[in-house]
Amino acid sequence: MTLRPITEVGAELGLAPEDVLPWGRDRAKVSLDALGRGSRQGRMVLVSAINPTPPGEGKTTMSVALAMGLRKRGRKAVAALREPSLGPVFGVKGGGTGGGQASLEPAADINLHFTGDLHAITSAHNLLSALVDNSVYYGHPVALEGTRVRWRRAMDMNDRFLRNVIVGLGGKAHGVPRETSFDITAASEVMAILALAENLKDLEARLGRIVVGQAPDGSPVRANDVNAAASMVALLKDALMPNLAQTREGGPAIVHAGPFGNIAHGCSSVVGTRLALAYADEVVTEAGFGFDLGAEKFLDIKCRSAGVWPRGVMLVVTLRALKHHGGAAAAKVADPDREALLKGFNHLEKHLESVAAFGLPAVLCVNRFPQDTEAELDELRAFAKARGVGIAVCDGFGKGGEGSLELADTVLAMLDATDAAPPKPRFLYELEQTPEEKIRAIARTVYGADDVAFTAGARKDLETARALGGAGLPVCMAKTHLSLSDDPAKTGRPRGFTLTVREVRLSAGAGFLVALTGELLTMPGLPREPAARRVTVHPDGSITGLMQGE
């Protein structure tokens, strides 16, 4: 496969040559100045999904497929997607650039180092860690209580052995011993800040607001107090510029920032989205995991912050995931099972209700797998027709844009129907509500919970967040992506459950509170058979095994 010169890809999108800054042969950074030069007002499609099975349901693949199909229909379409993290790449899921004929390119580079954004975020995060501990050691430039340090360290890799560590051992000359932990880079507040920042000035202001700990008198200590923000921006200056790549068929793709969907807010960058909207007719963007996690945060956090709103939602479904939520055994989800499929429709129904709660129209995108039968696809079509929801079966994985034309036409029909009266922002809660009320609104409306319980630790965290000025911020829920509830074993449409919030963290720089539920961890571990074991580097330098099925 021969990729188009990245300058040609930029020209197709309408970018000026001086705004496309090549980063090697097949990828580029786009100058932030380009944001002020685009004059289009693209129609945004939010791609989400039902709760996936552990390997995922191909949401990124379908996002790329839709962009390809729209381009085949003569539309100036761009995919605005998240950057992959090395954790999933070498962990359970493999690469995050789509799959088959519906992938981003250069896939191996995007999945690995790409333009170095995640390395820059890791470095900026750990620079702050070093400056914080230096203040603990010297008591300068601010007195910082070692036992009240809130800032962790970060690494872009799944490593369960770093979840709880002790630093500062070796005697007085080597530091002040204390317990700490590592988060994966995608869960770092620095990642969330980069994704939400509007420009370099905003980036520095957000970084400076990060609460890293408390002084001996209990007052908050922020990154600005240890003089960290400017040096962090120096590391992140290039990373703030969106990345330009291409689809396998040569269409433009903006791939930038990658906060985790079940831990952070799970959306690509604000600057990348605004760039796409300024230059494209249609912008295809996705939010991490199911609608209950990524899409809710996209709408309540990202859209509220950036002042944008989608025209509609494309909800990705697979027959195997529906049967999984209908009670089929994991090893049997590819087999025909009408009873499990019909039971799984209850799960899909809940997600459609959640889309409607935001006042948005939806279409169903069926990511077709080879084992899928026409009889079961017809059952799903009948379900959609009975509810007045558009549906398209997509074979983008096997046929690229040609296999995505039905999907493109279905999405275009949804978008055209909104032209006369585009949907207006409708949030689940107002910022003036208490954090507890915001969390309950999400849990009851999107998860279907009866109520929310707060542990003693979570209540204490909330009181601390209030004291630090965080009461008026939106809420970023950290929850399993495998269930609507906080228990990954509860598939389908759980009812009669209480969601338990066990911890609340203030992300003052990103501008939200993180409410952690269940046993969710901010540093994942590798599975028994990690994806890293199937990677091969060939004599010509090409790499295989990064994607499932290679």
Could you list the residues known to form a binding site for ATP, using ranges. Answer: 53-60
| Token pair recorded at residue 474 | 């939106």
Helix (H, G, I), strand (E, B) or coil at 486: coil
Q: How far apart are CA 340 and CA 325, in angstroms?
A: 8
Q: How far apart are CA 99 and CA 306, in angstroms?
A: 30
Q: Provide the strand spans (E) within 106-174.
A: 153-155, 165-167
The structure tokens listed for 47 are 């791609």
The SS3 assignment for 85 reads: coil
Question: 479 and 493 in contact (C-beta within 8 Å)?
Answer: no
* DSSP helix/strand/coil, 396: helix
Q: Are 102 and 62 in contact (CB under 8 A)?
A: yes
Q: Which residue ranges are tagged as binding site?
A: 53-60
Q: How far apart are CA 135 and CA 97, in angstroms?
A: 41
Report the length, in residues, of the chain.
550
Whole-angstrom distance, CA of residue 490 vs CA of residue 477: 18
Q: Is 313 helix (H, G, I), strand (E, B) or coil?
A: strand
H-helix or E-strand containing 463?
helix 456-467
Task: Please report which helix (H) or strand (E) contains residue 356, including its range.
Answer: helix 338-357
Q: What are phi and psi of 231, to 5 degrees?
A: -70, -30
**Nearest Cα residue to 369 out of 409, 334, 336, 400:** 334
3-class DSSP state for residue 84? Answer: coil
CA distance 19 to 98: 27
The burial of 382, by beta-carbon neighbours within 10 Å (0-12 exposed, 13-18 middle, 19 or more buried), is given as exposed
